[in-house]
Structure 1
């Protein structure tokens, strides 16, 4: 085992602190988004004429979005902290899928309220920034 000499240059860490901070923020935003969207769907189903098949689709897609969040954050955090491009790339794929679901709730949901648009656009912006930082981190890990 080689001894570390005093005064020697420390090894450089490639993990991204901004990405790690954004992942923490994204987890909180996603949890709040899920809860707020679920409550708005419940409100819209009572206050408006909401077709049952569309209600089922919106709830299924919201559930899928919630189910993708835990593995997305786990793989992203693991990949970033261990400087492994595999888990981080898998998290990037899940981030893109989650962003597409955000676009659905922003544009194509059965009834889009002003609050839906604001929440979805905010989550989409967070996911977009996170995807950019993930691509940069993967590029740094590969080189």
Structure 2
């Protein structure tokens, strides 16, 4: 089945694909119809390091952008984002998995169904055990560690 036969869901991005972050310009600039702030409930954020992982957790919340792709860009963008996130459908060892989740739009509180890339099962288990959680669930607002004294 090609992506043309699927619903064109928006994407919920929470890390390096957000405006002002490096992958936004590389992948999204000029290819979106709308970008608006949103919240994903039931997930928390971990530092990769260098990029974040969303991990499902009851009571969690993270901030991001709800991105609606231009229809003519959608199929190619979906493939490129899957590749960026190292998501291979059906592969249990994928770094991320792409799943449908409800996202709350900040402007009006409406719930929108969107694609979200969550940490794959093995990565999520490792992060829960030893990962650095990003308090507040907001990647751009995270506290970056400063240089360490030797």
Q: Normalising by structure 1, what TM-score?
A: 0.30
As a proportion of its length, which structure holds more strand? 2
As a proportion of its length, which structure holds more helix? 1
Computing the radius of gyration from Cα coordinates, the structure with the larger value is: 1
| Bigger RCO (CA 8 Å, 6+ sep) | 1
